[in-house]
Homo-oligomer: A and B are copies of this chain.
């Protein structure tokens, strides 16, 4: 059972008062070197460690903690965001707690964090209703998504503009008919996301044939490869492909090479994300780059604004970041 050792236990054992123990531990001065040594010795012997909750409760400046919900730890896009967020947040004095909804119950993960954070940030899978219930009134900043309820803010990516530019550029480069490899998995279980925005924008700006050439696959390299083969079988005249994300694009490129299709001569392949991994393969992956630095910076701007108002903002805050076409070798 072993009740935890408190500051009073140490004080009694060392024959001093609470305050003296505090002084010893926090290097406060107003204490002789001898008592300090003795107190620290007794502390170590009893295994005393200050209670972090009590300490933060009374402490001067309250630490600000953000809960980051990572979409998936197996997709570099999300881990790069996580890394960027962690670095930028630390610089601004934010603590970060992380969770991921990919394995197990996202509701449980969010509720667990709720007791420790002032704010949520990230990619959520939950529906609006579930999410609103899970966050327990704690404000949330949605990345690449939005929710109209009070207490929810967002940083969106203007992917529509990115796709429009990409389609125009592909056509200018001589592509006759463009196709798309979509994700078979919708992030949010919401009517807004079916079909995926990427697919909607693609269909809006597609060219070369009245019927949109779209095939969906799993969000992985293998899924991209399979989808590419299916696309070729179904629409053999396609000579340019927009792929849902870079991991799938790499898979598609490998599949094309295996089929003896020359890239970018016979086929231009364009991913989405702008992964650094895309620079390390051959040919390097051309992509609609989503600026992760700007994404997390914007999110932290909102976070700082909320913190300045003690997290009692009524109106929703929104930012938009623009994607950037990153021409490498594959398109």
| Chain A contact residues, CB within 8 Å of chain B | 2, 4-5, 44, 46-47, 49, 51-57, 63, 65, 72-74, 76, 79-80, 82-83, 86-87, 90-91, 95-100, 102-104, 108-109, 112-113, 115-118, 137-138, 220-222, 251, 254, 258, 276-277, 280-282, 309-312
Contact = CB atoms under 8 A, between A and B. Distances in A.
Nearest to A57: B53
A52 B116 contact: yes
Contact of A103 (B46, B87, B108): B87
B115 A47 contact: no
A137 B45 CA distance: 12
A282 B257 CA distance: 11
Contact of A54 (B57, B90, B220, B277): B57
Given A57-B51, A74-B276, A104 B87 contact: yes
A27 B175 CA distance: 61
Given A282-B254, A310-B4, A95 B74 contact: no
Given A51-B57, A83-B100, 17 more contacts: A2-B309, A5-B312, A44-B137, A47-B311, A52-B115, A53-B57, A57-B57, A73-B79, A73-B82, A74-B80, A86-B100, A86-B103, A87-B102, A95-B112, A96-B97, A97-B97, A222-B280
12 contacts: A5-B312, A46-B312, A47-B310, A63-B115, A73-B79, A83-B100, A83-B102, A86-B103, A95-B116, A98-B98, A221-B277, A221-B280
Contact of A49 (B138, B222, B277): B138
Contacts of A102: 83, 87
Q: How many chain copies does the complex carry?
A: 2
Nearest to A65: B116
B282 A56 contact: no
Contacts of A55: 115
Contacts of A65: 116
A63 B111 CA distance: 13
Contacts of A74: 80, 83, 276
A74 B96 CA distance: 18
A87 B86 CA distance: 19
A95 B96 contact: no
Nearest to A76: B76
Nearest to A277: B221
A153 to B, nearest CB: 15
A256 B263 CA distance: 21
A283 to B, nearest CB: 12
